[in-house]
Amino acid sequence: MKLQPSFEEAIEQLDKMISSLESGNLPLEESMKAFEEGMKLVSVCQKQLSKAETKLQLLVRQSEDQWELKEME
């Protein structure tokens, strides 16, 4: 089973793919493959951002100086 890259790794890979695609030096087949892989990485990033957003939404202020992370039920 292939491990998913971290958010930062996925963004770095996407950045490299975009640079390659924008250079115009890739053959059509390689460009299509890079685009497909890029879309998969975008999906990975979206899922990770969604998880992070959910955690942030669950962060509830308890008092002036105290915060608590509530687990989803």
Does residue 1 fall inside a structural domain? no
Does residue 23 fall inside a structural domain? yes
Does residue 30 fall inside a structural domain? yes
Q: How far apart are CA 39 and CA 68, in angstroms?
A: 35
Q: Is the pLDDT of residue 67 over 70?
A: no
Q: How many domains does the chain have?
A: 1
Considering only residues 68 and 35, tell me which one the structure prediction assigns the higher pLDDT: 35
Does residue 63 fall inside a structural domain? yes
Considering only residues 19 and 62, tell me which one the structure prediction assigns the higher pLDDT: 19
* 4 within 8 A of 44, measured Cβ to Cβ: yes
Does residue 2 fall inside a structural domain? no
- Output the average pLDDT for the chain: 85
Secondary structure string (H, E, C) spanning 20-46: HHHHCCCCHHHHHHHHHHHHHHHHHHH
pLDDT of residue 70: 65
| Burial per residue of 41-66, b for 16 or more beta-carbon CB atoms within 10 angstroms, e otherwise | beebbeebeeeeeeeeeeeeeeeeee
Range of the domain at 18: 11-69
